A and B are shown apart, each in its own frame.
Chain A
Amino acid sequence: MFPNLKNPVFTDIDDLNEMARQIRRDIMNMLLISKSGHSGGPLGLADIFSALYFNKLSLLPENPNYEERDFVFLSIGHVAPVWYATLSRRGFFPLEELTTLRKVNGRLQGHPAPLKTHGLPGVEIASGALGQGLSIAVGAALGLKLSKKSNHVFCICGDGELNEGQIWEAAMTADHHKTDNLTVIVDRNHCQIDNRTENVQKLEPLADKWKAFGFEVFEIDGHNMKEVLDTIDAAKKVKGKPSCIIAYTKMGRGVSFMEDNYKWHGVPPNDEQGKVALSELTSTKFGDFIDYYKDK
């Protein structure tokens, strides 16, 4: 919707919150159409995606390869619906394409597919198998530093994903090379597919872990727009070491029966659940890309 605009599109917190709510509505509609995909994680990340894409990131949707763009790597590929909805709302591709999630011959693959084969603007590289995004982000940060470029690199990781050893390999590499142009955002919703994170494998003390790995650590409420915006600024200002924002979020945020419930990690709503969800996520000035219940 804003293909020619550089950020910020919105400076008003209310606008950014409203866009986050629209993104949540889009996620629900996409999942209702596809009848396949993840609900909980995408809903939990909508505020952070709104903050990044409508205020903080250097980007130009009409030119995804814009030289001065900030890089975003979504290490948790399964939350793709929040990314697709956001990219589309921002003008990277038409809103109508959100109806094609997980459909054959589509660009909106179940997990983000590489640009070269599927060509979805805004997606730089594949993700899905967990634990790989941070290494890629570190590589990009090193490449940008070598070229003396000031683009910032963001990597969005899940908390359950931090079980993967490669994350900590990459953290050590980031520390060793002092990649201060890199910010990890950990979606700390305490849920993964099997159970609460601490029941699957103990993660705490998580902030201490990142600190011990050489990161400047920020802990925030991932649903507080002002805190999200201010902390992204603060993280970008860190010098001499990489930064990590642990964003405390609620899986399924905005939909009462999904909130903070790990059972909503990997399933879509049915038609009845979707109706309740959309009534709770009240409509916005931006408008839906589809009226799913029109002919039902």
Chain B
Amino acid sequence: MNYIHKFENYLIENLDIKNPELKESRRGFGDAIVDLGKTNPDIVVLGGDVSGSVRTDMFRDAYPDRFFSVGIAEQDMMGTAAGLALTGKIPIASTYGEFATGRPFDQIRQSIAYSEMNVKICASHCGFTVGPDGATHQSLEDVGIMRILPHMTVVTPADYNQTYKAVVESTKVNKPFYIRFYRDNSPNFTNPDAPFKFGKSDTLYEGSDCTIIASGLMVWESMMAMEMLAGEKISVRLINMHTIKPIDKEAIIKAAKDTGCIVTCEDHQKIGGLGGAVAEVLAQEYPAPVEFIGASDTFGESGKAAELYEKYGLSSRHIAEAVKRALKRKK
């Protein structure tokens, strides 16, 4: 990918794009809270029976007095977290994406978002990539329903390193957060030493023909799409939009002005998520053609992650095609 200018500082040094290091983003969360727990006695973690799955078990074992099991009761988990926050603790409430957002929506709305409680909702197992578990466990609406809540910051880090960083940084901000990550191993490619600021996106590659704005695992998928486009002399800018709310309007408007068309990529419904958020900015500030990659108003099904990405139109091939469609729509 030496045909375009690479902003090295956002990517790890000597990134081997053909053979990247694989690491779980949920592990980035687990490692972050263990490290935070060492220095900050106010960090407390709530367990909803899936501690091993969401990697809160490491914190539980390291600081048992600061780990509160609430059973399989996500509504209670969110309320308990709010109560802990009232006493000056920084509660981390973690379970699978669907159960962290859909089931306790009213609790999050009233007791956390409206009440502006310093609770960090950290959701693992998001998107299509929980694969074989099927549609009930594939959280494809979580970003949308968290994004519409006033006072909520919504973050979708791209990999292990960025998840670690987002979790650590969130505890320095006295506000409710929703942080979304994934179960499976995925390429770990973001530079742990790169600057990270909520609401300020990372431009990983500069380009002039089209901009891909991606979040979460789809950032890497987009990089693969750019590999495919390399031979066709299409210059693509790639933005890692790790914060969905507040969204980096400036970067979106600049992308539309500089490149004339946009492709959004997310492992989530197109409605309500990153795609919707980008379209809202463009419609108000600088209308430009947008192609959306994501779930097309549909639930998922069982299957391997790669099979589902292929079937539901989220694979790098689909992204490359979307770039070409977007280019054709440019005036």
Contacts and interface: CB of A to CB of B under 8 A. Distances in A.
B73 interface: yes
Contacts of B86: 71, 124-125, 136, 139-140, 143
A105 interface: no
Contacts of A165: 75
B87 A135 contact: no
Nearest to A182: B83
Please report whether the interface of chain A is mostly helix, strand, loop or mixed according to DSSP: helix
A125 B78 CA distance: 13
Interface residues of A, number: 38
B87 A132 contact: no
A141 B115 contact: no
A170 B71 contact: no
B69 A176 contact: yes
B75 A169 contact: yes
B164 to A, nearest CB: 25
B186 to A, nearest CB: 33
Interface in B106-125: 106-107, 109-111, 114-117
Nearest to A137: B83
A146 B83 contact: no
Interface string A208-234: 000000000000000000000000000
Given A137-B83, A146-B65, A172-B71, A166 B117 contact: no
Nearest to B89: A143
Given A114-B115, A129-B106, A172-B71, A138 B83 contact: yes
A237 interface: no
A146 to B, nearest CB: 7
A143 B91 CA distance: 10
Contact of B44 (A73, A135, A146, A172): A146
Contacts of B280: none
A197 to B, nearest CB: 22
B71 A143 contact: no
A117 B114 contact: yes
B80 A176 contact: no
A127 interface: yes
A169 B114 contact: no
B115 A146 contact: no
B82 A125 contact: yes
A55 interface: no
A139 B114 contact: no
B83 A136 contact: yes
A173 to B, nearest CB: 5
B68 interface: yes
Contacts of A147: 87-88
B196 to A, nearest CB: 26
Interface in B9-62: 44
B79 interface: yes
B324 interface: no
A144 interface: yes
B71 A140 contact: no
Interface in A85-143: 113-117, 124-129, 131-143
Interface of A: 71, 73, 113-117, 124-129, 131-144, 146-147, 149, 165-166, 169-170, 172-173, 176-177
Interface of B: 44, 65-66, 68-71, 73, 75-89, 91, 106-107, 109-111, 114-117
Given A115-B115, A142-B84, 7 more contacts: A113-B114, A131-B75, A132-B107, A136-B80, A139-B80, A143-B84, A147-B87
8 contacts: A125-B86, A125-B111, A137-B83, A139-B80, A143-B89, A146-B44, A146-B87, A173-B70
List of 8 A-B pairs having minimum Cβ-Cβ separation, nearest first:
A139-B83, A135-B79, A143-B87, A169-B76, A139-B80, A169-B73, A114-B115, A140-B83
